[in-house]
Amino acid sequence: MSLHLEHLNPEQLAAVTLPDQHALILAGAGSGKTRVLTTRIAWLLKSGAVSPAGVLAVTFTNKAAREMLARLTAMLPVSPRGMWIGTFHGLCNRMLRAHHREAGLPQSFQILDTADQLAAVKRLLRGANVDEDRFPPKDMQYFFNARKEEGLRAGEVPVSDAIARRHVELYAAYDAQCQREGVADFAELLLRSYELLRNNEVLREHYASRFRHILVDEFQDTNRLQYRWIRLLAGTSARVFAVGDDDQSIYAFRGANVGNMAEFERDFGVQKVIRLEQNYRSHGNILDAANALIAHNRNRLGKNLWTATGEGERVRVYEGESDVEEARFLVEETQALAREGRRYADMAILYRSNAQSRVIEHALFGAGISYRVYGGLRFFERAEVKHALAYLRLAANADDDTAFLRVVNFPARGIGARTLENLQDAARARGASLHASIDALGGKAGGALAAFRALIGSMREQTRGLQLAETVEHVVARSGLVEHYRAERDGADRVENLSELVTAAAAFDVEEATAGLETGQGDVEAVPVDPLTAFLTHAALEAGEHQAGEGQDALQLMTVHSAKGLEFDAVFLTGLEEGLFPHEQSVMERDGLEEERRLAYVAITRARHRLYLSFAQTRMLHGQTRYNVPSRFFDEIPEGLTKWLTPRFAGRRRAAVPSFAPAQAAPKLKGFGRPEGAGGFRIGQNVTHNKFGAGVIVDAEGHGNDARVQVNFGRQGVKWLAVGVAKLQAA
């Protein structure tokens, strides 16, 4: 069968037909790397350079492995089944199954997925009488996995204090428990396989002589232990063909080490670095914007994407007065594209943080546009949001048994399944709700339930007379959900979503202020309801409507992280504001800003034909209006590549007062009687400073000439300045 080498461009052909040597292939976005990788394997087999049993190919997903096998089957006259093709975990599992005795595992060892592993950690902590408030199970799970990914057993982990010593003791106990039960978690598969090769010279030499060619996809996403495993497996005779893109390394939070690419080049003495720079996805202006942005990163291996399809349209930029206005623009523009004949499924709205989706979803809901949240749940369907809504439902109606069962022991308060069974029996016997039947149980279980009843009662009493957003904020805070999720290593997004629920309530209150709090449809007489009940009804309706069915044309919503590997005709990259994208935490982390820039690069290169960048002068976060400075990324993209749909940086030339919230149209400074109390300055006002440049006033304290204002100067940071001394002027 033909490998269709004539269809490859010169760089792709050079990579596919590379002689017997190590190689690093820098494959830019949309450059056909999967085709190159698969054709390289087929060329090696067809040319007789290696037999199927001598090839090992590593992918990062099972889907990619299946796709590679399918392509090879279509390209070759012989079956590729003798090859080892799979993910790191899949290949390590295969090796451990074949050598379970040498690895110290039973032949039928079982694999713990993430949920099973967490259950095992919880069981370990309970058995050791460990206080889960001091040592949260998810934190311990993260600690165990992180040490394994560093290649460290408990005896090799440095100990600096009593807390660290306890972590290490629990790590050792967890390892012993898994060994005793004959199970292995995902991180253990890789570490045990690495130790097997490291400690067994005979096996190491066997595999080093067997696998003549090792090919690794998405090399920029490998962690340190995965790279060390590859080095051991390669030995001194195998040839390693590494394919990746350092500009698309966005998984540092998962342990990915972009430095592995440069280390590979040094460690293996790579003589051939091939750059796949011709892009088959995007038009020229989109690629030029991506190239200009990523060029600001240091220590890149370097490449420049180009296309033969022409410049195409310029990048469209939109500045909204608020996040609500931004969402309205997204709705109108996607509808316009649909009228032109484009499918919603070929459009994607991308955001940096999951919490941003709530305002967008609300606008889509109102417009009747079906959408699908890719790689995640719609806002009101997320577990942490549903937990918070359950507490709110109980505050509104303590007899809501569904809400009661959802949160009576979340966060954990010592109320077990047997206690709930007894409570349900008592409720059935009385014909009453669970809440009303709590006094039927005595002892420790009854005491825990009574404490929960008191919590709900205090929520109800303490929120009387409060505004809706204040009620939501109070209930979320008292529920313990924020503290629970803050204690989790991966809980930051969940805490942001809880804050966004407060924002949702504030926005709902504003919307309902003019329309009136009513329910009813058609000719049915409207019935006034209280704000909390109206908001809960709104949340339930939005959770259940406009969910796109299988195969239905639907707009795609997702985080930038989820978008990697995908492509769309039209891409809307939203929320490009300092502190949001790039994220405020990135500025404080080593190389954090560079990873944010790589994230933006990934987002931009998802677009085939049309790219939109948008930001808002004001955004409601945590129930408060936030005044924004446009992202520094706008300054890193040449103006000639962009088409501004609104005046460029209009928000820097006028006070950014949210037009959608009448109650906040003239926000007061803390400690001031009126917004003009700080020498004429006010929150939201655009100002300039002779040293720090343009900024936005975000907070203030004090009085008169003794007042201080807090100004967000974008890349120069957020600074407190004395009004009477600072050379601050209105923009």
- List the catalytic residues: 33-34, 217-218, 248, 606
CA distance linking residue 616 with residue 629, whole number of Å = 9
DSSP character for 722? E
The answer to whether the beta carbons of residues 455 and 447 sit under 8 Å apart is no
C-alpha 615/C-alpha 648 separation (Å) is: 11
Q: Rounded to 5 degrees, what angle do the CA atoms 516, 517, 523 make?
A: 85
> Cα dihedral sign for 199, 202, 205, 211?
negative
Degrees to nearest 5, angle at CA 211 with 210 and 215: 175
CA 499/CA 65 separation, integer angstroms? 40
Are 51 and 209 in contact by the 8 Å Cβ rule? The answer is no
* C-alpha dihedral sign at 399, 405, 409, 415: positive
Q: What is the largest CA-CA distance in the chain?
A: 84
Among 418, 391, 422, 419, residue whose Cα is nearest residue 407: 391
Q: Tell me the three state secondary structure of residue 669.
A: coil
Cα–Cα distance between 241 and 105 in angstroms, integer?
Answer: 32
* Residue appearing with tokens 């505004």: 467
Q: Which two tokens stand for residue 395?
A: 């505050």
Q: Are 498 and 385 in contact (CB under 8 A)?
A: yes
Structure-derived torsion over alpha carbons of residues 364, 367, 371, 377, reported in degrees to the nearest 10? 40
Residue 527 β-bridge partners: 519
Residue 254 CA to residue 397 CA, distance in Å, equals 42
Taking a C-beta distance cutoff of 8 angstroms, is the pair 690, 727 a contact? Answer: yes
Q: What is the 3-state secondary structure (H, E, C) of 460-500?
A: HHHCCCCCHHHHHHHHHHHHCHHHHHHCCCCCHHHHHHHHH
CB atoms inside a 10 Å sphere around CB 483: 13
- What sign for the dihedral angle of Cα 590, 592, 597, 598? positive
DSSP string, 76-109: -SS-GGGSEEEEHHHHHHHHHHHTHHHHT--TTP
Phi-psi sector, 665: left (phi>0), alpha (psi -120 to 50), beta: alpha
Q: Give the residue among 222, 228, 221 at the shortest CA–CA distance from 196.
A: 228
Closest by Cα among 174, 188, 173, 220 to 103? 188
Residue located via tokens 């204040």: 470
**Which residue pairs, CB below 8 angstroms and at least 24 apart, start in 128-134?**
128/170, 128/173, 130/170, 132/412, 133/487
Please choose, from the candidates 668, 653, 669, the residue with its C-alpha nearest in 3D space to the C-alpha of residue 730.
653
- Cα first-last separation, the chain: 69
Beta bridge partners of 518: 528
For the chain, helix (H) and strand (E) counts, in that order, are 25, 23
DSSP notation for 257-314: -TTHHHHHHHHTT--EEEEE-B-SSS-HHHHHHHHHHHTTSSS------B-SS---SP
